[in-house]
């Protein structure tokens, strides 16, 4: 790679230095690269605007306009492999009930949520596959739509017709996720589901996610490579039919037959909602105006070998 690790603070910050033996002669153009962990979106924005840092790798969409509107900063974007999702823990007694999941899906106005929180940098997601991947059915899948009356009727068919108390987990310091949680909280309240927001420090959030120690949580699903299986392989275990279709898709050559397999699979996921796709966003990075040569890829990873500072 273009850089070698120089210093590492286990609590966060990481310093790289130029790799003199990098295979592309003359690159990288910068001698040192420092990754700083800033837990709060607004604090990161203020540091960028003040020139204390040169970039924000994961810029909050709510702050993108501030970066674009400042004379000394700019944004870099790319089409994304990310889908923002509300994940249910189907081992939880409430969310093992399909009627509960469907009721909450009907109670959330995803179109309004997307418009309010993504500032034109995202589109509503009807499928778990982002628009950037082949075989996504975002425009053709029959997704659950916003309908409060239907949501109440759906919940009445569940084991909890009078509602219940639950929690939604988010990583603290992410303003967009907090607002998403608040919108979902308000949606649940309309049908008798009382949701407490559990904002956790990022390491605790990740640990609880891995240990399935949550009821609901907001996170993004990201394809690591440009194939539908990169999403399905870690998100399909809701029933045996879905799992069989996922495995069939893995061994079916590209073409109409594979498209049909994934179309059926996406409809099952849309009907049973083991998770609710919210929106498919762009990757947005905030930069100082003199930073050139920066590349952000659809999977959110970034390249620094061509970066230089314009004098």
DSSP string, 90-134: TTSTTTTSHHHHHHHHHH--HHHHHHHHHTTSEEE-SSSS-TTST
Burial (0-12, 13-18, 19+ Cβ within 10 Å), 256: exposed
pLDDT, residue 162, reads 97
Is residue 97 within 8 A of residue 104, CB to CB? The reply is: no
**CB contact at 8 A, 129 and 293:** no
Q: In what order do the strands lie in the sheet with 32-35?
A: 3-8, 14-18, 32-35
Q: Is the per-residue pLDDT at 196 higher than 90?
A: yes
Q: What is the pLDDT of residue 164?
A: 98
Helix (H, G, I), strand (E, B) or coil at 271: helix
Between helix 61-68 and helix 41-49 the angle, nearest 10°, is 10
CA 92 to chain centre: 22
Lowest-confidence region among 139-148, 153-162, 221-230, 259-268: 221-230
Higher pLDDT, 8 or 238: 8
- Tell me the CA distances in angstroms from 116 to 121, 273, 278, one per residue in order: 11, 23, 12
User: How far apart, in whole angstroms, are the C-alpha atoms of residue 78 and residue 80?
Assistant: 6
> What average pLDDT does range 119-125 have in this prediction?
92
Confidence of residue 10 (pLDDT cuts 50, 70, 90): confident
Chain mean pLDDT for the chain: 94
Nearest to 130 by CA among 283, 301, 260, 245: 283
pLDDT of residue 127: 95
Q: Give the chain's largest Cα–Cα span.
A: 67
**What's the predicted TM-score (pTM) here?**
0.80
Q: Copy the structure tokens of residue 186.
A: 């308000």
- Give residue-wise pLDDT tens across range 66-104: 999 999 999 998 888 999 999 999 999 999 999 999 999
Q: Which two tokens stand for residue 114?
A: 């997307």
For residue 147, give the DSSP letter. Answer: -
Residue 60 has pLDDT above 90, yes or no: no
Q: What number is the average pLDDT over the span 137-164?
A: 97
For residues 224-228, give the mean pLDDT.
Answer: 91
Q: How far apart are CA 216 and CA 198, in angstroms?
A: 10
The answer to whether the beta carbons of residues 44 and 65 sit under 8 Å apart is no
pLDDT at 153: 98
Instruction: Using the predicted structure, report yes or no on whether residue 208 has a pLDDT greater than 80.
Output: yes
pLDDT level of residue 155 (50, 70, 90 thresholds): very high
Place of tokens 């998100």: 235
Is the confidence at residue 270, as pLDDT, over 80? yes
């Amino acid at each position: 790679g273009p850089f070698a690790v120089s210093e590492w603070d286990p609590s966060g910050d990481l310093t790289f230095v130029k790799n003199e033996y990098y295979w592309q002669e003359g690159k990288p153009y910068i001698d040192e690269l420092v990754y700083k962990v800033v837990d709060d979106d607004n604090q990161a924005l203020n540091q960028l605007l003040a020139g204390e840092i040169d970039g924000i790798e994961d810029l909050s969409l709510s702050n993108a306009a501030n970066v674009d509107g400042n004379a000394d900063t700019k944004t870099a974007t790319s089409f994304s492999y990310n889908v923002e999702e509300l994940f249910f823990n189907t081992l939880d007694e409430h969310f093992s009930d399909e009627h509960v999941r469907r009721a909450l899906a009907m109670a959330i106005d995803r179109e309004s949520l997307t418009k309010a929180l993504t500032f034109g940098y995202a589109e509503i997601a009807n499928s778990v596959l982002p628009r950037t991947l082949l075989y996504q059915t975002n425009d053709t899948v029959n997704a659950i739509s916003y309908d409060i009356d239907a949501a109440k009727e759906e919940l009445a068919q569940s084991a909890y017709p009078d509602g219940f108390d639950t929690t939604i987990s988010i990583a603290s310091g992410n303003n967009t996720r907090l607002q998403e949680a608040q919108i979902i909280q308000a949606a649940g309240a309309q049908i008798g589901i009382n949701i407490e927001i559990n904002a956790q420090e990022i390491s605790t959030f990740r640990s609880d996610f891995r240990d399935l120690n949550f009821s609901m949580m907001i996170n993004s699903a990201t394809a690591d490579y440009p194939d539908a299986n990169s999403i399905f392989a870690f998100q399909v275990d809701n029933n045996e039919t879905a799992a069989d279709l996922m495995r069939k898709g893995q061994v079916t050559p590209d073409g109409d037959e594979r498209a049909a397999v994934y179309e059926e699979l996406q409809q099952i996921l849309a009907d049973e909602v083991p998770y609710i796709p919210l929106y498919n966003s762009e990757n947005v990075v905030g930069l100082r105006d003199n930073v050139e040569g920066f590349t952000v890829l659809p999977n959110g990873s970034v390249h620094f070998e061509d970066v230089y500072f314009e004098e």
